[in-house]
Chain A
Amino acid sequence: MKGSTKKKVIQFFGFFLLRCCLFLVLAVLLLFLYDIGSKGGGAISWEFLSTAPRRGMTEGGIYPAIIGTFLVTMITAVLAIPLGMCAAIYLNEYAKQSRLTRLIRLSIRNLSGVPSIVYGLFGVILFVNILRFGTSILSAGLTLGLMTLPWTITASEEALKTIPNSYREGALALGATKWQSIRTNVLPYAIPGMLTGTVLGLARAAGETAPIMFTGAAFFLPMLPKSLGDQFMALPYHLFIMSTQHHAIVQVRPLAYATALVLIVLVLGLNMTAVIVRYRLRRKHR
């Protein structure tokens, strides 16, 4: 009897400890969101969102950075979404169990573990130097696209896996070719899921700094870029500058907070939409 009481006490404290771990994590997240929300919210105004920085970036807004991040994310999407989806279609629909398939999967998993700064180095060599795109939106977008590719592949494959095999077999049994069965009976139902998964990848790419630092992001540009060959301002890089490189860091801290808030709203907004939609879709397919 004593033993069982002791067991219960230990279990009580054990579970309590685990619960504390969870509360700690949630508290950190809340602290983050609260700090940025409360201190950044005050500095946000229409002017902040719609004008360029002024007076050595101690006044004014972040409009060029918003536009720059938007443009570079578009390039990322153009590279990573179609390629990622097609690679996922190959892996989930066509690939047989073979050494090559295993190699491809291994490469994808390892690509997603390559540090973002290494992608930056690769971008400098391939896009900036070899392909002569210079430091530009194009180079930065392609670098980010490459980095996003393994995420979009994995996410798209997850979406394809939720489509029951009976859709494929049913189509094949009626005399559909492989591609017909995929095109008419798999993709229409998988594409919403594939897109939400890839949006998650894009959201992460939009918040990345290291890969764009040396491939196209600029310290300060009052004008908007005129072409994809121009340099650009980006929200995450702007936040980095405002919080560590500025000559009057303390003075511009409110602007840095506001930039962080805009960035986080943008990234988490995309993120949460995708997560919610994905949860709904999962329910539907069950």
Chain B
Amino acid sequence: MVFSGATFLYAFLPLTLLLYFVVPKKLRNAALMVMSFLFYAFGEPVYVVLLLISSLSDWLHSLFIESHRGKKSAKVALISSIMVNLGLLGFFKYADFLIGTVNSIFGLAIPLTGIALPIGISFYTFQTMSYTIDVYRGNVKAQKNLVSLMTFVSLFPQLIAGPIVRYIDVEKELTDRKSRWEDVGLGIRRFVLGLGKKVLIANLLGEMCDAFQKSSEQTVLYAWLYALGFALHIYFDFSGYSDMAIGLGRMFGFRFPENFDHPYISKSATEFWRRWHMTLGGWFRDYVYIPLGGNRCSKAKWLRNIFVVWLLTGLWHGAAWNFVLWGLFFGVLLMLEKLFLGKLLEKLPSVISRIYLLLVVVLSFVLFNAAGVKDAFVTMGKMFGGAELSNSASLLALRNYAPILLIGAIGATPLPKLLGEKLGKAKIFTVLEPVLLAAVLILCTSCLIDGSFNPFIYFRF
């Protein structure tokens, strides 16, 4: 089930809100847990088992760790817990990638498993791992109540595409949260705006990118439209989803961490990754980079740590070589920026450093969205003159999608937020804002009813 579907908007969400606010407070976690499992089961009934295994495993391991704190067996339990989660992730996400790689290197024909990737496995395994690690570190207490823990793991707003919410972020809210009108109202605002970002902007840009990939008339102009369009598409798709998730969480009294902070205004790749998919970056920082030694070690080890984190970041995004290369591309950039490029960028006029950032990000997303490494280089070749400059098909695409590209480009800056904050203070917005949000919801509904392009990019992770 996707947030931008009729099933969610007009059946699941109203039912869940009704159930949640009708049941006694002490049953609210149970109600959320049941609805969350239903949410997950709706798309992947069989893989609910994996979610249960992951939750149970971390619940048991954490209780064991807490009761054996300071002993070697606690460390063994931590390793065991991590192995269970990584085992699930490794088998379901990377087995075929590994087999394919071995086959191509050694000329073997080991059959692929053909197992479908369970939706959201990369997100919820990271969440459960962070919980057990935090219990081991003593940052949080082990949750004795299985329902509370399973509510955290399965919580549908963030279950399948993040933000990667850590237990520590919602520990208090799991046991004691208030339902205030202000929270529900803010949650609805955030949810509807996220829905609008997804349906009214990302889907249209996605449609253009899809048309480019199917087109036999890929000119220089069309390739650039595609590259710019995809960079905006993935931003509005993913940040829109994150907004919806954060908004939904707020409706139920949770405050999830932010996941995006206008990444395209960054002046370096380092800054970009502080603003893009912030919860993933934070996860790798706290559970991989710093434990490896971070930057408080020799330069060689420091560079190795960066390399490892970005190799894993690439792999996390997908079991394919273009994702690995994509991660390493950023790894190399970050190393260069830390060594000398960062200082140079700081000295340059901000317009140049912004152009640099946009160029590398746009190119990186061409690699990210390619069917393979070769495909990515073919598209990049076309962007830089390896095709006819323009033709009627690309001019038509420009004409049809220029407005949405412009809206997307402006929307990716802090301007709309600043404007909203300024206008929102006016008294008339007490009535006007709900009306505008209703209009966005109705417009999104009309797009969903008449349209067909509505996939979520980050579902495949």
- Chains A and B are bound partners: no
